[in-house]
Structure 1
């Protein structure tokens, strides 16, 4: 695997600094499904799995109005090995400095390359420092095909406090109508992959001290473009510790890279301009203007970088996905709104 510097500014969002490009070969171990991967079934059914163990089942509504999530049992092998105290002490640069970020990116990039349970697959990946934002500053979920297309830049992360909870089942409203609010659903939310450690846990206490003195290593978040979410790939306890101290944790974002040249389409561009005019008529809030600008850039720039998460076909398709979900509910009781659950497990596509 080749690791090279990436200091470009063509991602279309304010990243926290330069990063790394990881070029993963199309052979050997990397040609297989990684330990942590996505399976897909018809009707926007997804499964996040580690090996053959499901960690998360997802259903997206056909009209993109809502999305349901069901957690499976955590603990299957995936991700990166735990950082030791000695490894943390080896990074002696001033916390938060460019050299500090560079040292941690190379360490964690090599860990991704050498992991016994890989999360990367063949192709190009980007690993860069990312900033967080407040939920209402994020992008709403799309309401038209002009806004959601194959491949987009990642959205900045928000709602890190999710690592302190472990909801078993929930359904999100993805409709984009109404004014922004703290309760609205925005792209970029963080989703943990395991239960939180108790605040009395030894590693959490140790990371809290590191957070106070500024030497907390960055956590790694994996972006999933179809969901518009960040999965916590490495560093659940580090994020938890920083939140307990009221200090923003340092974060590295990881996402697969799609680089393409876009053919010119006058018809498509006219449609985009009409959609922009519709959104901007009678004035618009700054967040709407920013969203329209992003849509125009996505559709008019000749070449672009974006991210697309790869998924593997789920053996057995929709019936297999549904059978797994129903079996998990029978073996593991948890509360669920009856109407939401009926929609989530419905056999229709």
Structure 2
């Protein structure tokens, strides 16, 4: 009998807008989760990444040596058929859209998909699966453009859903920012892993009706922590349909969780004491802030902190394989790239 994933309620303060209850998934260190999932990230020096599905590249990505930008080339792979299709009958059985019960049903449905014998996304360890909300453009503009190279970050809230509908073959991103940058460069932007279907596609039309009715199933996003982006792994046509109707689709986020114990030292105790004093002072003037103050106190007294991360597997063949694949794929493409951008990508 295949071992099961252990599921508990997620009580983490992720400091991002949430759309409903979430779950923590503890994936056992047993087959099939000890091997590479079907969708996974591979890495080699210097900052060369390859995201693959069933062994075929979804995209190649190179981060600049000074961590001030990146370039991306889409690959030949497609996510078609990676997850079961969500039928109208399945959507109807979930109950009243947007309610806690509705989200609970969808969480159960996705857990069943994720713990199939051949793991699509999960590997051994702890994961978080929970509903998300987007943030407005004004707030997204203040997000950092340079992703951290260190472990220990919480996921950035998603935004710029329309940017996910663009399907460029090759592009570069400038992470230096300086206050003037495209929204899709800010951390938390959403990147599709395949091109959206045409507006007159039958499924898109059906999803547009569901978007108008408020019954659209969630779009599943996977957090790629290294570059601070949400990847659409299921629901490309649902996202497209919702945006055609000028609606925001329900979003379900999935990310790998890393835990770090909080050292119980003098510095921590001083910080906690300061937090208690600040809370007392705030409540004297604004007693209605008690819920917000309690959340801050709980956060400041955590014994363990949880962060988002992305596991990178060694790329077999290293940089030579990465460059050979990129060069071979580029030959058959009509995509244009400036000579300087391309030279920097493959050097």
> What TM-score do you get using the length of structure 1 for normalisation?
0.83
Which has the higher mean CA deviation after the structures are superposed, 322-331 or 106-115?
A: 106-115
What displacement does 1:40 show? 0.3
Residues 173-252 of structure 1 aligned to structure 2 (within 5 Å) = 173-177=174-178, 179=179, 185-252=185-252
1:32 alignment counterpart = 35
1:14 alignment counterpart = 17
What displacement does 1:263 show? 4.4
Q: Does residue 60 of structure 1 match 2:63?
A: yes
What displacement does 1:112 show? 1.2
Which has the higher mean CA deviation after the structures are superposed, 42-51 or 179-188?
A: 179-188
* Partner deviation per Cα, 1:122-178 (whole Å, 9 max, x = no partner): 1111111111123552321348xxx6521311111111113422100000000132x
Change in Cα spacing, 1:135 to 1:7, as seen in structure 2 (3 Å) is same
Q: Where in structure 2 are there 5+ consecutive unaligned residues? A: 268-298
Residue of 126, 129, 149 corresponding to 1:127: 129
What displacement does 1:262 show? 4.2
SS in 1 for 2:33: helix
Kept in 2: contact 1:53–1:76 (CA 8 A): no
Change in Cα spacing, 1:115 to 1:334, as seen in structure 2 (3 Å) is farther
What displacement does 1:74 show? 3.2
* Partner deviation per Cα, 1:92-145 (whole Å, 9 max, x = no partner): x221111111111111121111264521111111111111123552321348xx
Change in Cα spacing, 1:115 to 1:100, as seen in structure 2 (3 Å) is farther
SS in 1 for 2:204: helix
Change in Cα spacing, 1:36 to 1:249, as seen in structure 2 (3 Å) is same
2:166 alignment counterpart = 165
SS in 1 for 2:227: coil
Kept in 2: contact 1:30–1:122 (CA 8 A): yes
Q: What is the CA–CA distance in structure 2 between the aligned matches of 1:212 and 1:76, rounded to whole Å?
A: 26
Change in Cα spacing, 1:50 to 1:77, as seen in structure 2 (3 Å) is farther
2:145 alignment counterpart = 141
2:97 alignment counterpart = 95
Q: Number of residues paired by the alignment?
A: 311
What displacement does 1:38 show? 0.6
SS in 1 for 2:32: helix
Which has the higher mean CA deviation after the structures are superposed, 255-264 or 22-31?
A: 255-264
1:258 alignment counterpart = 258
Kept in 1: contact 2:12–2:306 (CA 8 A): no
What displacement does 1:5 show? 3.8
* Partner deviation per Cα, 1:273-324 (whole Å, 9 max, x = no partner): xxxxxxxxxxxxxxxxxxxxxxxxx999763100110111011111111111
Q: Where in structure 1 are there 5+ consecutive unaligned residues? A: 268-297
For the aligned residue pairs, the C-alpha RMSD in angstroms reads 2.4
2:115 alignment counterpart = 113
2:305 alignment counterpart = 304
1:289 alignment counterpart = none
SS in 2 for 1:304: strand
